[in-house]
Structure 1
Amino acid sequence: MLDDVEAVVLVGGKGTRLRPLTLSAPKPMLPTAGVPFLAHLLSRIQAAGVRRVVLGTSYLAETFSDFFGDGSAMGLELEYVVETEPLGTGGGIRNVFKYLSAPDVLVFNGDVLCGTDLTAVVDTHRRTKADATLHLVRVQDPRAFGCVPTDEDGRVTAFLEKTEDPPTDQINAGCYVFRREVIESIPEGRPVSVERETFPDMLEAGARVSGHVDAAYWRDLGTPLDLVKGSADLVRGVAPSDALPGPTGESLLLEGATVDDSARVFGGTTVGRGVKIGKGARVDGSMLFDGAVVEDNARVVNSVVGTGARVEESAALYDAVIGDRAVVGAHCELRHGMRIWPDVVLPPHGLRFSPDV
């Protein structure tokens, strides 16, 4: 148990390409498998035995405190520290330094879904007597990420930018362990990137930076498709969480949702409060926000349907995002990541990709 470790979660960013279409909340507060995404991360931290968590916030900071309060409902002690201007990852960590007292501090990016064993990460940090330790995951295609090679002793040797010919499949997973003294050494009061400044400077100075490498579940929720897939993995139990508001399975139905007996809802779909799904509809691996309606014989696959939006009879969505209160008219067909803005109304037969026969 990590009761002698504190945690920092950086949740200050505005960034998500889903936010303008559906919600005004920061990405870590977007409903994901029925609760704000941040609740899943906090549940993992609590399950590892950490009791005190500092949230470094900036954009809509009150959203976090209004929902989580002092953290006691989750068995945590939460402290909120607000950035008055964007400070980057390293600057955000330095900004919370005076609120920390534990010798070792776990730091998380607040928009990453991960199933790693946090106790094992801290054990690697302590066993190697590291100044800082990074959780590294192996991915099938590392070209889209910066790479972090390690030597035979698990010591990080470099931080490499994206390349078409990466020398390793190991990437930074957005979870770190720092000695408290290292956090104090980060420059104060200005933007700092841990990836481009803090860690490379530590290597140059001869500090011990260790890598904890595993193949645990990991997903960066930076795009709508990643958010949908991450939510589905939580519902199905592929990604671990103690915050799921119901049992794992093919679907998660929240209060007041109704599904016709002839409809099929599967693939880790979240069906929000008051959602209605009609006869013969098929909903696969999607997120239906509160009050949405999917009418008879409609198809919704790997898509987001915003609050109060309507998918009319025999319409089809594949990898689409439908904004709040928008209407997709009967027999429309949307594919390939299409976005429909809030309150937009597509007329029946107004848009199709497949030829009519």
Structure 2
Amino acid sequence: MKALVLAGGAGSRLRPITHTSAKQLVPVANKPVLFYGLEAIRDAGIREVGIVVGDTAAEIRAAVGDGSAFGLDVTYLEQDAPRGLAHAVLIAREFLGEDDFVMYLGDNFIVGGIGDLVRRFRTDRPQAQIMLTRVSEPRAFGVAELDAAGRVVALEEKPDHPKSDLALVGVYLFSPAVHEAVAELKPSRRGELEITDAIQWLIDGGHRVESTLISGYWKDTGNVTDMLEVNRLVLEDVEPCVEGEVDGDSELIGRVVVEAGARVSRSRIVGPVIVGAGSTVRDSYVGPFTSIDRDCAVLGSEIEYSIVLRGASIDGVGRIECSLIGREAEVTPAPPVPRAHRLVLGDHSKVQISK
């Protein structure tokens, strides 16, 4: 079995962060979300991985390399534009050959990995196997309709009027039969080759499509709210570890990680929290569920339930919550007089300002 990992896409819901960075490389607990998927694939016993890349190909290649750091053999597959999940299968035809494969969306996060799913597929041998989860807003997802016996009878991509609340999770398993389905597809009303249409083609042709309703945790980390929630979940499992410098005037409470080269002075940190290598926390409060990446500075400030990316600095700010702060960003207080907000914002930014 091989794996096909999708790491293209524009990441529009994470702008302005993704104007300058691949959405799959935004870190969760100081590790790119893509890496969690690659580790899950490795742990399921799969070694050959094709990564579909687009405009951010150079960044993905630099981060993942040849895959050896993950115990994988990685091949990169260029996609000229985001043309749908089924199009990714189409351009990967030569790489996939006649092997079964798992298709994994690189910005998805699944607790517990995919080992059980892969074992079930190998045992039961359907032509396709999908993962489903109940969601409150199914119109934002591919949606499955099941019959009374629980068999998949219909699929629709982002329907205006969903027939169920069962959304497709971003992990699919296929036999080589899917290649014939993909070859028959025409672009949808969204102008893309939809993987839901390919699976529907298999169903209509009498092929067996199985589904698994997952009870564990899944998130599409395509927006800030979900990124922060996944960060919270991962931090729940960190073990306290202090390899950096913490002075006697500081207090660490609970599960706090201070990586080698980090410095904490005259500060209070309430875990779970990670302070990355080379970062400085001084005269500050860092509250639960905060990840501070490497080479950052938090000075005379308060921050909680947030993600701070590499090289960012926060200096003299009273309170920050529920925030995603980009690489090399600078956050400082506004001058007291005149009372006004001074902003430099990228395209599609969202700002909340207290009165």
- In which range does the TM-score fall when normalised by the shorter chain? 0.7 to 0.9
Q: Residues 163 and 104 of structure 1: is their aligned pair in 2 closer, same or farther, counting only changes over 3 Å?
A: closer
Q: Which amino acid aligns with 2:106?
A: G
Q: Does 1:257 align with 2:262?
A: yes
Residue of structure 2 equivalent to 1:194: 195
Cα displacement string for residues 291-319 of structure 1 (whole angstroms, at most 9, x for unaligned residues):
332222x2212233344333233521122
Percent identity of equivalent pairs: 28
1:67 CA drift (Å):
2.5
- Which SS does the other structure have where 2:235 is aligned? helix
Q: How does 1:1-357 map to 2 (within 5 A)?
A: 5-21=1-17, 24-101=20-97, 103-139=99-135, 142=138, 144-151=140-147, 153-160=149-156, 168-187=164-183, 191-195=192-196, 197-237=197-237, 250-260=255-265, 262-267=267-272, 269-296=273-300, 298-323=301-326, 324-329=328-333, 341=345, 353=354
1:280 CA drift (Å):
4.4
Cα pair 2:127 2:207 within 8 Å, conserved: yes
Q: Residues 253 and 133 of structure 1: is their aligned pair in 2 closer, same or farther, counting only changes over 3 Å?
A: same
Cα displacement string for residues 256-305 of structure 1 (whole angstroms, at most 9, x for unaligned residues):
222235412424x3423322222341333233333332222x22122333
Q: Which amino acid aligns with 2:194?
A: S
Q: Residues 331 and 127 of structure 1: is their aligned pair in 2 closer, same or farther, counting only changes over 3 Å?
A: farther
Q: Which amino acid aligns with 2:143?
A: C
1:162 CA drift (Å):
5.6
Cα displacement string for residues 58-116 of structure 1 (whole angstroms, at most 9, x for unaligned residues):
12212222222221222111111111333311001111111124531111111100125
The CA distance in 2 between the partners of 1:340 and 1:113, in whole Å, is 32
Cα pair 1:91 1:187 within 8 Å, conserved: no
The CA distance in 2 between the partners of 1:60 and 1:50, in whole Å, is 25
Residue of structure 2 equivalent to 1:336: none
- Which SS does the other structure have where 2:287 is aligned? strand
1:40 CA drift (Å):
1.1
Q: Residues 251 and 28 of structure 1: is their aligned pair in 2 closer, same or farther, counting only changes over 3 Å?
A: farther
1:25 CA drift (Å):
2.2
Mean Cα deviation higher: 143-152 or 87-96: 143-152
The CA distance in 2 between the partners of 1:144 and 1:192, in whole Å, is 17
Q: Which amino acid aligns with 2:174?
A: F
The CA distance in 2 between the partners of 1:262 and 1:253, in whole Å, is 13
- Which SS does the other structure have where 2:143 is aligned? coil
Residue of structure 1 equivalent to 2:249: none
The CA distance in 2 between the partners of 1:152 and 1:179, in whole Å, is 26
The CA distance in 1 between the partners of 2:111 and 2:146, in whole Å, is 21
The CA distance in 2 between the partners of 1:284 and 1:215, in whole Å, is 26
Q: Residues 229 and 131 of structure 1: is their aligned pair in 2 closer, same or farther, counting only changes over 3 Å?
A: same
Q: Residues 266 and 288 of structure 1: is their aligned pair in 2 closer, same or farther, counting only changes over 3 Å?
A: same
Q: Residues 66 and 183 of structure 1: is their aligned pair in 2 closer, same or farther, counting only changes over 3 Å?
A: same
1:187 CA drift (Å):
2.5
Cα pair 2:284 2:302 within 8 Å, conserved: no
1:340 CA drift (Å):
6.8
Cα pair 1:95 1:188 within 8 Å, conserved: no
- Which SS does the other structure have where 1:237 is aligned? coil
Mean Cα deviation higher: 217-226 or 93-102: 93-102
Gaps of 5+ in 2: 239-253, 337-342, 347-351
- Which SS does the other structure have where 1:233 is aligned? helix
1:177 CA drift (Å):
0.7
1:153 CA drift (Å):
4.6
Gaps of 5+ in 1: 239-248, 333-338, 343-350
Cα pair 1:137 1:215 within 8 Å, conserved: yes
Q: Which amino acid aligns with 2:312?
A: A
1:214 CA drift (Å):
1.8
TM-score, normalising length: structure 2: 0.79
TM-score, normalising length: structure 1: 0.78
The CA distance in 1 between the partners of 2:54 and 2:203, in whole Å, is 30
The CA distance in 2 between the partners of 1:288 and 1:89, in whole Å, is 33
The CA distance in 2 between the partners of 1:22 and 1:204, in whole Å, is 39
